[in-house]
Amino acid sequence: MSTNVELSSNERIFQARVDAEEKIEPKDWMPEKYRQNLIRQISQHAHSEVIGEQPEGNWITRAPTLERKAILMAKVQDEAGHGLYLYAAAETLGTTREEMIGRLHSGASKYASIFNYPSLTWADIGAIGWLVDSAAIVNQVSLQNTSYGPYARAMVRICKEESFHQRQGYNIMMTLMQGAQSQRAMAQDALNRWWWPSLMMFGPHDGESAHSAQSMKWKIKRRGNDELRQQFVDQAVQQALAIGLEVPDADLSWNESRGHDDFGDIDWQEFERVISGNGPCNRQRLAHHKRAHDEGAWVREAMAAHEAKHRHKTEDAA
Ligand code: FAQ
């Protein structure tokens, strides 16, 4: 029997399992491209969670009250935890943390474009929690049903925590909108700056998306970029209205026949600029990550030495 025949029969069995909504687990046979595509998506997702700590961490020391500070610290810690679950899920596919971080630092691996924008005022912390976490939830709820078991299970836990994050962001915006004129203006300004980058989080239109067709077939992705973006717009527009904010899009209007909001065109040139490394904060974000990584080298070395010592002890006792 030729290897080709064997491979295609493996592939057929694999696709049948995916079609039947069975979870694929780390030791199961999987097409090499499925494995590579998952490593790409999960590691980029992990990098996004970790780099996403930077714009929010920027405001921990300047949060307006002790309570807000404690909440923000807890949220930022959660994002680090999400990175950890996701790196661990990617490691089950045979890559290592070092390889993933290496690809982030070399620019070979992307992270969400949104985190390359600066957090200029306290209202930006509200906008990030409200809009960025909302967008993340809309996307990640669908990923709870992704075909790869470790990724799907990580998503369940992450989604629970993101719901709290979204609430804290919206609560900041709501509080500002009940405040003085200058506070309302600050909230509106934050929405103006974060709205369009939030829509870009869902990626290119389905027709332009390099990975969507295959990822949908393998159920790595469960819903298209445009469908998720539309769901986000529909819900965020109502939330903005409820607290007196104006969405910065002259083309926004309710479309009765579609049952959805119509909205304007995304600036795809800006999107391309940001994902190719030339957004407002790309260099700053990567430089900060590299510095923190270098400064943490001694911790990794100490952990590795401790583990090696423990392994020798266990082997000696056996
Ligand atoms: N930014 O063919 P597609 C969060 C790239 S978590 C940068 O459509 P795909 C939590 C894409 O990688 C936010 N790059 O790609 C938090 C590909 O390039 P490649 C992260 C983007 O994978 C909140 C190329 O464009 N969430 O926010 C972006 O099928 C607050 C072609 O695109 C996830 O990662 C973008 N926006 O669909 C943390 C969710 N869009 O890899 C802190 C999981 C596209 O070939 C504070 N990921 N690209 O070099 C996904 O669902 C998918 O990967 C998409 C993109 C939907 C992001």
* Per-residue pLDDT, 299: 95
318 confidence band (pLDDT: 50, 70, 90)? confident
* Per-residue pLDDT, 314: 79
Taking a C-beta distance cutoff of 8 angstroms, is the pair 139, 228 a contact?
yes
Mean pLDDT of the 150-176 span: 96
Percent of the chain with pLDDT over 90: 93
Report how far ligand 1's centroid is from the alpha carbon of 3 (Å).
Answer: 35
What are the residues facing 254 on neighbouring strands? Answer: 261
Closest residue CA from atom 16 of ligand 1: 49
Residue 311 has pLDDT above 90, yes or no: no
Task: Tell the residue number behind the tokens 């409820």, with chain if given.
Answer: 242
SS3 96: coil
Taking a C-beta distance cutoff of 8 angstroms, is the pair 212, 224 a contact?
yes
Ligand 1 atom closest to residue 109's alpha carbon, by position in its atom list: 49
Report how far ligand 1's centroid is from the alpha carbon of 240 (Å).
Answer: 25
* Per-residue pLDDT, 317: 80
Residue 50 has pLDDT above 90, yes or no: yes
Measured distance between the N- and C-terminal CA atoms of the chain, rounded to whole angstroms: 44
As for ligand 1, residues whose beta carbon falls within 6 Å of it are 40-41, 44-45, 48-49, 52, 56, 79, 110, 112-113, 128, 132-133, 136, 139, 200-204, 209-212, 215, 221, 225, 275
* Per-residue pLDDT, 312: 80
* Per-residue pLDDT, 310: 85
Q: Give the closest residue to 123 by CA, choosing from 195, 50, 231, 200.
A: 195
210 confidence band (pLDDT: 50, 70, 90)? very high
* Per-residue pLDDT, 1: 45
Ligand 1 atom closest to residue 41's alpha carbon, by position in its atom list: 53
Taking a C-beta distance cutoff of 8 angstroms, is the pair 177, 187 a contact?
yes
* Per-residue pLDDT, 313: 81
Q: Give the closest residue to 60 by CA, choosing from 119, 132, 133, 137.
A: 119
Closest residue CA from atom 38 of ligand 1: 49
Residue 267 has pLDDT above 90, yes or no: yes
Query: Each residue of 64-90: pLDDT tens digit?
Result: 999 999 999 999 999 999 999 999 999
Q: How many CA atoms lie within 13 A of 149 on its CB side?
A: 11
Query: Each residue of 191-200: pLDDT tens digit?
Result: 999 999 999 9
Ligand 1 atom closest to residue 56's alpha carbon, by position in its atom list: 46
SS3 178: coil
Query: Each residue of 281-293: pLDDT tens digit?
Result: 999 999 999 999 9
Instruction: Please provide the average confidence, as pLDDT, over all residues in the chain.
Output: 96
pTM given for the model = 0.95
* Per-residue pLDDT, 5: 52
Q: Is the dihedral of CA 71, 76, 77, 78 positive or negative?
A: positive
Ligand 1 atom closest to residue 45's alpha carbon, by position in its atom list: 34
* Per-residue pLDDT, 315: 80
Closest residue CA from atom 5 of ligand 1: 203
| 18 CB-near residues (< 8 Å, 6+ apart) | 24, 147, 217, 218, 219
CA distance 231 to 226: 9
CA distance 94 to 301: 21
Ligand 1 atom closest to residue 202's alpha carbon, by position in its atom list: 56
